[in-house]
Amino acid sequence: MAADATSSSLQSEPRRRIVLGEADISDFGEGEGQDLPTEVMPLRMGPSHPAMHGTVRMVLEVEGEKIKTADIQIGYLHRCFEKEAENATWTQIFPYTDRLNYVSPMLNNVGYAIAVEKLMGIDGKIPERAQYIRVIVGEISRITDHLTCLGAGAMELGSFTVFFYLIKSREWLWELLEEVSGARLTHSYVRIGGVVADLPAGWPARLREVLAKARVALADADKLLTRNKIFRDRMDGVGIINRADAAGWGLTGPVARSTGLAYDVRKDHPYLVYDQLDFDVPVGSTGDNFDRYAVRLEEIFQSMRILEQALTKIPDGPVIVDDARVALPAKRETYNTIEAMIAHFKLVMDGLHVPAGEVYSFTEGGNGELGFYIVSNGTGQPWKCRVRPPCFANVAILSKVLPGLFIADVVPTFGMINMIGGECDR
């Protein structure tokens, strides 16, 4: 270290001369090197950054490699979901819900449909086959959500192979969802009162095949990561969230469960047919990145368990309520009878008649408790349609978790929080 006379923070008389490059950090004695000139450096990560999921900007103040403060700035993917929902009919909102958590769109569709059905008072009249179908496609969406999170997270730590294995499995599942709904990602498959169409012939058998293949891929991914020293060193003990913080910060989903908080909407407040299905809810203990990874991995296996049970138990029957004021009549009726024509006309032009009222309905989304707070004023359009996004709260706690971590730790921490821009910013 050169004695720089212009810097007043240095002692005027150097005690020892160490030339960087010719010496090692171990050459520093006790208390030496403490007064190297340092300054806090602002570092901006994002919004356009390879490791920033979605678009988010983090304004960090770093001291060396250690983060001092972190200001997470979201909102780059804000597409005015609520404002658009106030100007659309109830059925027209389904494509908007697809684009909330866009890696698990069926779960958003289902959550919104359940909320409106509660307001209309028909939540007890949904046909059972429709409920099973909703559970099946919902769990497939949950699996794809976790596959994306784990795959992308692994890739960012350097494990490209695992990324490809998991994305391959995700692709098989999306092909199945494309058969059902016509689109890989923007399904709009669910409707108020049920789902829009029945499962195609032979689909359950194809789903079973895909699940078997996915289990193999997951087993490989597990073998490559779970006891991998590099992976464990980067994930263990990093990004710890305390269980005591979880409730006050509103954390839910795998992030909360990794801290030890055993809250899963499907178990605690069952909806659809979850109370007739047998599954476990994995819960972590330390709340670090690795626990979040392990909880998600185990949840995939539990979802597969749910799927296998649902495929055996699903009954035959209609897939949407039989009420011309809620569900579009069959096209054969619409083109040949005036009653169905009028019903079709009014449903599409005016929208459903949802009685005035308010409801907060919550389901388990990919990231936690996905709530819909809907206010209706009795017309065919909502007065307010609020989404309670689970990852909004999950990302908020990062401003408390990141300080103290190294810059390199931001990558796995952020990856395991699984911020989906569409849901966080809406």
Using alpha carbons, select from 297, 264, 293, 294 the residue that is nearest to residue 281.
Answer: 264
| Minimum distance of other proteins from residue 95's CB (angstroms) | 17
Q: Which is nearer to other proteins, 166 or 425 (CB)?
A: 425
Residue 121 CA to residue 355 CA, distance in Å, equals 9
Cα 409 to the chain's mean position, in Å? 20
Considering the rule CB under 8 A, would residue 41 count as an interface residue with other proteins? no
Buried-state track 98-132, b at ≥16 Cβ within 10 A, e below 16:
bbbbbbbbbbbbbbbbbbbbbbbebbeebbbbbbb
Residue 67 CA to residue 272 CA, distance in Å, equals 44
Residues 323-342 that bind other proteins (CB under 8 A): 323-325, 329, 333, 335-342
| Minimum distance of other proteins from residue 197's CB (angstroms) | 19
Angle at alpha carbon of residue 386, lines to 109 and 265, rounded to 5°: 60
Which residues fall within 8 angstroms of residue 308, CB to CB, at 6 or more apart?
208, 211
C-alpha Rg value of the chain to the nearest Å: 26
Of 18-26, 265-273, 308-316, 414-422, the window that binds other proteins (rule: CB under 8 A) is 265-273
Binding mask 198-237 for other proteins (x = CB under 8 A): ----------------------------------------
Query: Which residue type is seen at 29?
Result: G
Binding mask 104-123 for other proteins (x = CB under 8 A): --------------xx-x--
Tokens of 352: 């459903």
Cβ neighbour number for residue 407 with a 10 Å cutoff: 15
Binding mask 341-380 for other proteins (x = CB under 8 A): xxx-xx--xxx-x---xxxx--------x-x-x-x---xx
| Minimum distance of other proteins from residue 253's CB (angstroms) | 13
Q: Which is nearer to other proteins, 166 or 398 (CB)?
A: 398
Residues 54-83 that bind other proteins (CB under 8 A): 73-75, 78, 80, 82-83
| Minimum distance of other proteins from residue 263's CB (angstroms) | 6
Would residue 422 be called left, alpha or beta, if left means φ above 0 and alpha means ψ between -120 and 50 degrees?
A: alpha
Tokens of 45: 């990560």
Q: Which is nearer to other proteins, 366 or 382 (CB)?
A: 382
Considering the rule CB under 8 A, would residue 125 count as an interface residue with other proteins? no
Considering the rule CB under 8 A, would residue 249 count as an interface residue with other proteins? yes
| Minimum distance of other proteins from residue 87's CB (angstroms) | 6
Binding mask 83-102 for other proteins (x = CB under 8 A): xx--x---------------
Considering the rule CB under 8 A, would residue 381 count as an interface residue with other proteins? yes
Q: Which is nearer to other proteins, 205 or 262 (CB)?
A: 262
- Kindly tell me which residue out of 198, 220, 245, 308 binds other proteins, with binding defined by CB under 8 A: 245
Binding site for other proteins (CB under 8 A): 73-75, 78, 80, 82-84, 87, 118-119, 121, 245, 247-251, 261, 263, 268-272, 275, 323-325, 329, 333, 335-343, 345-346, 349-351, 353, 357-360, 369, 371, 373, 375, 379-381, 383-384, 386, 388, 392-393, 396-397, 400, 425-426
